[in-house]
Amino acid sequence: MDVQFLIDNIFTLTITGLVLGSVYALVALGYTMVYGVLQLINFAHSEVFMYGTFAATFTVMALGGTRDTSTGGAILMLLLALVAAMLVSGAIALVLERVAYRPLLRRNAPKLVVLISSIGASFVLAEIMGLRDKITKFVGLDDSLSAYVTRARNNVQFPDVVDPVRLFKIGDYNVNSIDLLILGSAILMMVGVDQFVRRSRLGRGIRAVAQDPESAALMGVNSTRVIQVTFLIGGLMAGAAAFFFVLKYTVTRYDVGFILGVKAFTAAVLGGIGNLRGALLGGLILGVAENYGSALFGTEWKDVVAFLLLVLILLFRPTGLLGEALGKSRA
Amino acid sequence: MTSQENAAAKRTLGERIGALPKPWKITAMVLIAAFFYVLPLLEPPFISTPGADFGAVMFTVATYALVALGLNIVVGYAGLLDLGYVGFYAVGAYSVAVLTTYHAHWPFLLAVPVAVLAAMISGIILGAPTLRVRGDYLAIVTLGFGEIIRLVANNTAWLGEAGGINEIGKPPNADLFDVPHLNWDSGSPLLDVQDKTTVIKFGILDQIPYYWLALTVVIIILFADTLIKDSRVGRAWEATREDEDAAELMGVPTFKFKLLAFAMGAFVGGLSGALYATKTSFINPESFILILSILFVAAVVVGGQGNRWGVIVGAALVGYLPERFRGFEEWRILVFGLALMVLATYRPQGLLPPRRTLRARQVEQEMDALEGESTA
Amino acid sequence: MHTKHTLRTLAALAAAGLALTACGTTGDSSDTADSGGGPACDLKIAFMGALTGPAAGLGVGAVNGAELAIDQYNDEHPDCKVTFSKNDSQSDPKQAPGVAKSIIDDAKVVGLVGPLFSGESEAADPLLNEAGLPMITASATKPTLSEQGWTFFHRILGNDETQGPEVAKVLTDVANSTKPFTISDDSPYGQFLTGAASDALGDSLVGTDKIATGQRDFESTVTKVLSSKADAVFFGGYYPEGEVLIKQLRSGGWDGTFVVPDGVKDKEYIEVAGPAGDGTLVTCPCVPGDKITEFAKAYQAKFNEEPGTYGPEAYDAANVFLDGIADGVKDRAAMNDYVNGYDKDGITKHVKFTENGESSEIPIWLYKVKGGEYVAVKQLA
């Protein structure tokens, strides 16, 4: 156990962990909200995230972003990429709800069956992206779109339009602009969603359905609308996370959602599934814990740390750190 | 008049088979079993898999059937959602691998009981703390467990790390006689004297003896499964599954029985993993990825959880179809995902739902009929 | 009622079964016409490796090289062509045995170029050896493959035991590194090669780390490299991880020399790594395709791109089999004997195999990423 290494680099590990954790937190939000309202694990949420990464990447590629793009132009492109990612992820989430979940929920299908359907949806979405070269070939578009669809199963590079600007130092680590952007935006967005759920009418509807779907329906809450909005918010947040992800790690691939999804779900459970603030807390803690774990035991044990943390939390505090709260209104 | 008679006349195939006199039933089962033993030798034209060794595919189907039976105990009988079943499979496989190769050089048959025991112990270790948590959380914890097993194997030197372990021990051979395969290339079956299987030689190329071994194990487990399901244990599981609180109130020690289900599921999973290890003679962590757990659960749910024949059908589909349509290799997972979605939407109870569901439905039908009559 | 019905069906089935077996054995109607003394004209050469999937970049180079050789042979022997059987294993050890079996079952295949990767070789070679199918791999470099006693195994390029020390030399002599750091992925190829390099570096090594295939964020690795103040890093692994690793190293502020082996040498690495990849040093037991002008021209004409990694090696491997076929070899056993005794010049080296299947000559080349392509620097061994 390399404790010395951990201590020497505590600032670097903590800050990069927080940045990674912000991405986890934004994705975790989708899992936690859907679980809070429907008590089901949306397995396909990781693919909602993945589509966002491709939307952001393709947008910047289509706009011709390169390292020679001016700063102003780059910022514009990035904004458009963010919007594109959020819209695409939101759309995919809505489609998912309509196609994979609503028919089953209408029939009161047992939860295991809904889970299987969501697993199937996850595969379908991921494979569509992985097979995009073959699919576009069918419709004869593969030549015109070749920059986007060749080598469909390989890494796709997010154009380097922006160089991270080193801002200040904390300990040994140079905090750069991208780090701050990610961390700051994640916190802002979580606060925004939290406020929305607390204060708006739709937000109250979400909490009502989470607490007791039948009474909510009796009180005139349109549960279909509520479920749609839940999926949409989760999707939008995942899209934002997707944008930050490609900004920081500069590559994406059709299977990028999978492991990230499991980790994000871990984060949601860690913080208390159904609890929005819990998603943020859980994500940040998981990101930092993973880094500490890699420092102590070696990078190859990173994922084991995440799963072990999950198992331990579920054993000793099954409701998560902040407890399940979506159904319990505190306002 | 009409609906009652119809209900009586519409006896399902399962009931008709069940109603046959015992000697007929036994003969039929023996014939069916014999058919399955001989199947890979027959290499029937449409069923046989081009581009993949049919014997190997049958072996995969048999091991998946074994896994499905084990998982059926956990998911179908006891109602516990386990998304990390591949962990037990891996424990069984790695135990056999480690014991029969560089570490100890044990003979395969001696390593199997140890492997199965190891799997059971891991099932108990996993179950003891986690079975107290709620259903969905159990799913996530088991998922984490499956991944932890794989990652530990991936990073531990004495488990071979990512390179895995090869030259795994084989079951003992008995070089008795050769059986030729059938060859359909010319349109009608001919005995292909060049394509032979030795009874019983566990070599590297010919997978059919392994298939026979696996099939035998499946049959044994099927018997055991029938015995257990109709016993006190099976009924306790059913009670726990349907309504755990009520079962507790009625005096069923639900936790103990859930743990028993886990341990038995782990036993069967480990056994299946041991067979897999000896057949492929080379395993590495890549063989035990999460998607395999999901595949197993899908086999059970699609086939009909709680129905032992249903899960076997599910396992057969999941193991056989991708190999049969190997030409469409790139599309396999996409098609699999679509199939899951469609089946979940239109036939959520599975292809062969457990008999209780049928019974319950019949009761409903009869009640509807009675109510319909009384209001008419 | 029921019993009669069932009896009748059973009887019918039994009768059908008996009737079928009466049809005879395949020994009776034998198809094999004796073709005399000339070369057999319906033979096949197979390739096994990743044609799809994440590793396909390396597979493409090899399969194309082999295909070029076969096409050239068929042009010279229009009456007696050899068929090329391409088999996609995605270089996945799980799929490899099944793919190998279907190659084995095709009786017309007398030689296999491949398998592509070391991992799938470990899974498939026992079957191939048992079936007696001669194989020449143009790319699988794990040394233990030739130590298993597989008489049908041959390797036409250097293995990692020779590459490892050369990597160490590159770090110390070419990169002038006094503080080298090694990173391995978790594949058999990467681990062995990095281990060999680390051993050769000895005490000057300032740190090691291990990453997982499929990993995309390497923060802790970057931190380790930076805090060890390493001036050169060797990454033993494949391009999907390598290309992301170097970008994160650079954006973390590290500006030492990055050294990688042939597993990273793919055009995708250059594309994705971009400026971060400039100046990367690459060791490879493969010969620069563009230096072999005839081959490069023919390859370019056929595939409209530069020869890929392992292309020339696969070309040579296929030619060994083709020479055997031209010489009259008709079956696998004879082909294996032919390969064992082969002693001729190929385009990459003088092709000859040692007793356990290794190549007698092992050139190792150093490349550098410059101007968006791999430029051959010099021959190391």
Do C151 and C296 lie in one domain? The reply is yes
pLDDT at position B120, please?
A: 94
Answer whether A157 sits within 8 Å of C274, measured CB to CB.
yes
Of the candidates C53, C216, C274, the beta carbon closest to that of A249 is on C216
Of the candidates B56, B180, B186, the beta carbon closest to that of C101 is on B56
| pLDDT, tens only, A51-74 | 999 999 999 888 887 777 777 888
Distance from CA of B19 to the nearest CA of A (A): 32
In a domain, C121, yes or no: yes
In a domain, C73, yes or no: yes
What's the domain count of chain C?
Answer: 2
Partners of C182 in beta bridges: C208, C234
pLDDT at position A21, please?
A: 92
pLDDT at position C32, please?
A: 40
Answer whether C104 sits within 8 Å of B205, measured CB to CB.
yes
In a domain, C81, yes or no: yes
Distance from CA of C92 to the nearest CA of B (A): 9
Res. B122 pLDDT band, cuts 50 70 90: very high
Chain A residues whose beta carbon lies within 8 Å of the beta carbon of residue B144: 266, 307-308, 310-311
CA dist., res. A188 & res. C333, Å (int): 71
In chain B the domains, ranked by start, together with CATH numbers, are 2-375 (1.10.3470)
pLDDT at position C37, please?
A: 47
Of the candidates C52, C88, C126, the beta carbon closest to that of B204 is on C126
Distance from CA of B155 to the nearest CA of A (A): 7
Residue B4 has pLDDT above 70, yes or no: no
Which residues of chain A are at the B interface, by a Cβ-Cβ cutoff of 8 Å? Answer: 35, 39-41, 99-100, 103-104, 107, 109-117, 119-124, 126-128, 131, 134, 262, 265-266, 269, 298, 300-301, 303-304, 307-308, 310-311, 314-315, 318
pLDDT at position C245, please?
A: 92
Residue C263's CATH number:
3.40.50.2300
Q: Indicate whether this model's pTM tops 0.95.
A: no
CA dist., res. C30 & res. C368, Å (int): 57
Of the candidates B135, B334, B348, the beta carbon closest to that of A127 is on B334
Q: How far is CA A89 from CA A33, A42, A251, in A?
A: 15, 14, 18
In a domain, C14, yes or no: no
In contact, A271 and A1? CB cutoff 8 Å: no
Answer whether B143 sits within 8 Å of A262, measured CB to CB.
yes
| pLDDT, tens only, B164-183 | 777 777 887 777 777 777 77
Domains in chain A: boundaries: 3-149+158-316
Res. A181 pLDDT band, cuts 50 70 90: confident
Q: At what angle do helices A256-271 and B135-155 cross, to 10 degrees?
A: 130
| Of the listed ranges A182-191, B75-84, C50-59, C350-359, the one predicted with least confidence | C50-59
Q: Searching chain A, which residue's CA lies closest to the CA of residue C272?
A: A157
| pLDDT, tens only, A61-109 | 888 877 777 778 888 888 999 999 999 999 999 999 999 888 888 888 8
Whether residue B42 lies within 8 A of chain C, CB to CB, comes out as no
List per-residue pLDDT tens for chain C, 381 residues long: 455 555 555 555 555 554 444 444 444 433 344 444 455 678 899 999 988 777 787 888 899 999 999 999 999 888 888 999 888 888 877 778 878 888 888 888 999 998 998 888 888 888 898 889 999 999 888 888 888 888 899 998 888 888 888 888 888 888 888 899 999 988 878 888 898 888 888 888 888 888 888 788 888 888 888 888 889 999 999 998 999 999 888 888 888 999 999 889 888 888 888 888 888 999 988 888 666 888 888 888 888 887 888 888 999 999 999 999 888 888 899 999 999 988 888 888 888 898 888 888 888 889 999 888 888 888 887
**Secondary structure of chain A in HEC code, one letter for each residue:** CCHHHHHHCHHHHHHHHHHHHHHHHHHHHHHHHHHHHHCCCCCCHHHHHHHHHHHHHHHHHHCCCCCCCCHHHHHHHHHHHHHHHHHHHHHHHHHHHHHHHHHHHHCCCCHHHHHHHHHHHHHHHHHHHHCHHHHHHHCCCCCCCHHHHCCCCCCEECCCCCCCCEEEEECCEEEEHHHHHHHHHHHHHHHHHHHHHHHCHHHHHHHHHHHCHHHHHHCCCCHHHHHHHHHHHHHHHHHHHHHHHHHHHCEECCCHHHHHHHHHHHHHHHHCCCCHHHHHHHHHHHHHHHHHHHHHHCHHHHHHHHHHHHHHHHHHCCCCCCCCCCCCCCC
Answer whether A123 sits within 8 Å of B334, measured CB to CB.
yes
Q: How far is CA B197 from CA A127, B205, B268, in A?
A: 39, 10, 28
Do C137 and C210 lie in one domain? The reply is no
Do C120 and C65 lie in one domain? The reply is yes
Count CB neighbours of C26 within 10 A: 20
pLDDT at position B193, please?
A: 67
In contact, C45 and C293? CB cutoff 8 Å: no
What CATH number has the domain spanning A3-149+158-316? 1.10.3470
Q: Which residue has the higher pLDDT, B358 or C301?
A: C301
pLDDT at position A121, please?
A: 93
CA dist., res. B313 & res. B319, Å (int): 10
Which of B134, B166, B124 has its CA nearest to residue B256? B124
Chain center to CA of A208: 24
The token pair at B113 is 């009981």
Residue B3 has pLDDT above 70, yes or no: no
In a domain, C27, yes or no: no
In a domain, C7, yes or no: no
Do C222 and C270 lie in one domain? The reply is yes
Find the mean pLDDT for residues B148-154.
Answer: 88
Find the mean pLDDT for residues A189-193.
Answer: 90
Find the mean pLDDT for residues B335-339.
Answer: 83
CA dist., res. A197 & res. C96, Å (int): 52
Do C196 and C310 lie in one domain? The reply is no
According to DSSP, residue B376 is labeled -
Using alpha carbons only, give the angle C16, C21, C26 rounded to the nearest 5 degrees.
Answer: 140
CA dist., res. B261 & res. C44, Å (int): 53
ipTM over 0.85 threshold: no
Find the mean pLDDT for residues B222-238.
Answer: 87
Partners of A175 in beta bridges: A168
The domain in which residue C155 lies consists of 44-159+289-352
The token pair at B263 is 């341990």
Which of A32, A41, A101, A123 to mutate against chain B (most B CBs within 10 Å)?
Answer: A123
Distance from CA of A298 to the nearest CA of C (A): 7
Q: Searching chain C, which residue's CA lies closest to the CA of residue B289?
A: C94
Count how many Cα atoms sit within 13 Å of the Cα of residue A109 in the half-sphere of its side chain: 26
Do C254 and C326 lie in one domain? The reply is no
